[in-house]
């Protein structure tokens, strides 16, 4: 059975750079508070006319060019987002249409910050079994339009950014290289600890003025709980990835964690025992871009020469649901 390799990666962020000072003009917050609590200095937010699918298309075209492939070479699209352009249908088919494709499957994955890992696991299974050969895996989010940008929503609004990151995946015959393992977990007992309650079909009517007045359409988070679980479960899933493949910490060239919060990443690093140079961090520039954060970070890491053929890469994520997991890849 072949393994799955990354043929190319790419990312795209909107043109509007938003600094912590810009946020301090919208709500009661400060550069100092945001930096100290999250490590974030800037993030990118969409402007007029920009959409999640538009960001995903731009990232896809960059990755296709790097892989020297055309859209027609893609056999399948796996689109991971928790901030779709529309309720229905999912973003996958809109991206497919934008790429000029009409006869390949497009599937949407709704697993928030762990979306890219879940999508990778699905794509990996399809590639290994030969069902699809060249898979476009997308993580893309537009959070900014959904955030409460007043002081009421400041605990979440300052953390999130918009962006898209993609990977083009295909089978490798080179023994030993490729995706070695994926481990996925979820625990719905914590679903309401980071969620958007409505609009939703659990409500009757599914959308109402009262719902909007109550701010149910904004993400709400029990920040400390998220922090506690993330900083415990991400290190455990990294250790699992290493154990499953008979690897040690010294074997890891790079850990690319979901960029949720600098303090969470630092706790993951300390709990696993990895050295600073083994962990890639770019949250200071982009904020938390949820399903897009791992592919954006991976593309930047590759651009910076942090990963070479044969190196061991570990990915880990944690997010709303709660969902979490890890992947190990021999590059
Ligand atoms: N600016 C200024 N003050 C703020 C802000 C803000 N943006 N947000 C909250 N505060 C205030 C609070 O109102 C509170 O004030 P009070 O003491 O007068 O009541 C004070 O700051 C402290 O609030 P806490 O919530 O206790 O602050 P904490 O130190 O826990 O930090 C944070 C909050 C940053 C959200 C933290 O809990 C955290 O990092 N949690 C993890 C959440 C996370 O990273 N989520 C990302 C999405 S999920 C994921 O990707 C894994």
Structural domain including 79 reads 3-172
Residues 197 and 79 grouped into a single domain? no
Residues of the chain with pLDDT under 70: none
Ligand 1 centroid to Cα of residue 223, in Å, is: 6
- Whether the CB-CB separation of 245 and 178 falls below 8 Å is answered with no
DSSP 114: G
The H or E element that residue 106 is part of is strand 106-109
47 and 167 co-located in one domain? yes
Q: Whose CA is nearest to atom 11 of ligand 1?
A: 155
Question: Which residue's CA is the nearest one to ligand 1's atom 48?
Answer: 319
* Residue 47 in tokens: 């402007």
> 331 vs 189, 203, 292, CA distance in Å?
36, 46, 20
- List the residue whose alpha carbon is closest to atom 38 of ligand 1: 223
Domain count within the chain: 2
Contact in structure between 78 and 48 (CB atoms under 8 Å): no
298: domain CATH number is 3.40.47.10
The two structure tokens encoding residue 293: 């954060």
Q: What is the pLDDT of residue 281?
A: 98
Residues 269, 167 share a domain: no
Find tokens 């021999």 and name the residue.
330
Task: Determine which residue's CA is closest to atom 36 belonging to ligand 1.
Answer: 223
Q: Helical H runs in the chain?
A: 20-24, 31-38, 52-67, 91-98, 115-129, 154-157, 209-213, 223-244, 262-272, 283-286, 293-303
Q: Are residues 13 and 133 in the same domain?
A: yes
CA-37 nearest atom, ligand 1: 34
Instruction: Say yes or no: 27 and 165 in one domain.
Output: yes
Shared domain for 30 and 158, answered yes or no, is yes
Q: Which of these three, 110, 142, 172, is where a domain ends?
A: 172
Q: From ligand 1's centre to the CA of 114, what distance in Å?
A: 21
Same domain for 224 and 251? yes
Do 168 and 63 form a contact (C-beta atoms < 8 A)?
Answer: yes
Residues 293 and 267 in one domain: yes
pLDDT at 173 (0 to 100) = 82
Q: Among residues 12, 143, 183, 258, which one is catalytic?
A: 258
Q: Which of 91, 111, 261, 288 is catalytic?
A: 288
Which of 172, 190, 205 is where one domain is finished? Answer: 172
Asked if residue 163 and residue 199 are part of one domain, the reply reads: no
Residue 183 and residue 168 share a domain: no
Residues with CB under 6 A from ligand 1: 29, 33-34, 37-38, 113, 154-155, 158-159, 194, 221, 223-224, 226-227, 230, 260-261, 264, 288, 318-319
Counting from 1 in the atom list of ligand 1, the atom nearest the Cα of 155 is: 8
* Residues 114, 43 share a domain: yes
Residue 261 annotated in active site? no
Probe target for ligand 1 pocket from 261, 263, 291, 323, with the most ligand atoms within 8 Å of CB: 261
Q: Is 113 a catalytic residue?
A: yes
Among residues 140, 172, 204, the one where a domain terminates is 172
The DSSP line for 145-212 is GGS--SGGGHHHHTTB--EEEEEEEEEE-STT-EEEEEEEEE-GGGGGGEE---S-TTSSSSS-HHHH
Strand-pairing partners, residue 215, are: none
Angle at 108 between CA 62 and CA 11, to 5 degrees: 20
Going by alpha carbons, the residue nearest to atom 50 of ligand 1 is 260
Say if residue 75 is in the same domain as residue 132.
yes
Ligand 1 atom closest to residue 227's alpha carbon, by position in its atom list: 41
Q: Are 39 and 263 in contact (CB under 8 A)?
A: yes
Among the listed residues 12, 113, 143, 183, the single catalytic one is 113
Ligand 1 mutation target, pool 23, 37, 319, most atoms within 8 A of CB: 37
Q: What is the pLDDT, as a whole number, of residue 141?
A: 98
Residue 134: phi and psi, rounded to 5, are -115, 110
Most informative mutation of 223, 322, 325 for ligand 1 (most atoms within 8 A of CB): 223
């Amino acid at each position: 059975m072949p393994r799955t390799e990354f043929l190319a990666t790419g990312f795209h962020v909107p043109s509007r750079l938003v600094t912590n000072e810009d946020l301090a003009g919208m709500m009661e917050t400060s550069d100092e508070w945001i930096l100290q609590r999250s490590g974030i200095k800037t993030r990118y937010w969409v402007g007029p006319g920009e959409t999640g699918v538009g960001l995903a298309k731009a990232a896809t075209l960059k990755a296709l060019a790097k892989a020297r492939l055309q859209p027609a070479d893609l056999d399948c699209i796996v689109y991971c987002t928790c901030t779709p352009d529309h309720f229905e249908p999912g973003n996958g088919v809109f991206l497919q249409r934008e790429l000029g494709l009409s006869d390949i499957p497009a599937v949407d994955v709704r697993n928030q910050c762990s979306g890219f890992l879940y999508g990778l696991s699905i794509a990996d299974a399809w590639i290994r079994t030969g069902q699809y050969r060249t898979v476009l895996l997308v993580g893309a989010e537009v959070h900014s339009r959904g955030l409460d940008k007043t002081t009421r929503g400041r605990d979440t609004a300052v953390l999130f950014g918009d962006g898209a990151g993609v990977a083009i995946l295909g089978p490798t015959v080179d023994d030993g290289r490729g995706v070695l393992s994926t481990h996925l977990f979820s625990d719905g007992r914590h679903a309401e600890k980071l969620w958007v309650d409505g609009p939703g079909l659990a409500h009757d009517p599914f959308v109402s003025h009262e719902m909007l007045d109550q701010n149910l359409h904004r993400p709400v988070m029990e920040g400390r709980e998220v922090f506690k679980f993330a900083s415990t479960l991400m290190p455990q899933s990294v250790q699992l990835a290493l154990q499953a493949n008979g690897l040690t910490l010294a074997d890891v060239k790079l850990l690319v964690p979901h960029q949720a919060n600098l303090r969470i990443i630092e706790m993951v690093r300390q709990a696993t025992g990895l050295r600073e140079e083994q962990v890639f961090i770019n949250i200071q520039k982009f904020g938390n871009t949820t399903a897009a954060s791992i592919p954006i970070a991976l593309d930047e890491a590759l651009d910076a020469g942090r990963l070479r053929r044969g190196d061991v890469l570990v990915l880990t994520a944690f997010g709303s649901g709660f969902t979490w997991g890890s992947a190990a890849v021999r590059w």
